[in-house]
Amino acid sequence: MRHLPYFCRGEVVKGFGRGSKELGIPTANFSEQVVESFPPDISTGIYYGWACVGNGDVHKMVLSIGWNPFYRNTKKSVETHIIHTFKEDFYGEILSIVIVGYIRPEKNFDSLEALISAIQEDIEEAKRQLDLPEHLKLKEDNFFHLPEGKIGNN
């Protein structure tokens, strides 16, 4: 994973509407333009790292990059689950993320329950990894201090 940590920023757009409603695990989705700007050799799969909406607080997150085989997506997506409860949606806000580490490849599941269980395990793994000192230091990175009008990737 030579691209890690990977720093990315973009506007939050409406996704498939499954995260909150079907899975009970809300996600913030990047636009196709941001997804296409990811280095092609970042593997699909599940990652962990840090996320910040606008100039808000920095929170732990777990991230899916890929086609979500369970749903047979035809477009690659990048979906961030921020491990925090927000009072309201934040479509149109700028989401800044730092991808710190890799958990597992994406895979298909036999049932919705198996998918939800795997995501819950991914969340717990992300929490454990992000408590390590080498990962905690990235929570304070200046990248999360959003300059006015700044959008894009590095």
Q: Tens of pLDDT along 104-132?
A: 999 888 988 999 999 999 999 999 999 99
* Residues belonging to the active site: 79
> From residue 38, how far is each of 9, 30, 128 by CA, in Å?
11, 11, 26
What ranges do the domains of the chain cover? 6-139
- Residue 144 is classified by DSSP as G
The chain-wide mean pLDDT, for the chain, equals 88
Is the distance from CB of 136 to CB of 119 less than 8 angstroms?
A: no
The CATH H-level superfamily of 6-139 is Riboflavin kinase-like (2.40.30.30)
Q: Residue 59: enclosing H or E segment and its boundaries?
A: strand 58-66
Is the distance from CB of 93 to CB of 112 less than 8 angstroms?
A: no
Q: Is pLDDT at 69 greater than 70 in this prediction? A: no
pLDDT given at position 85? 92
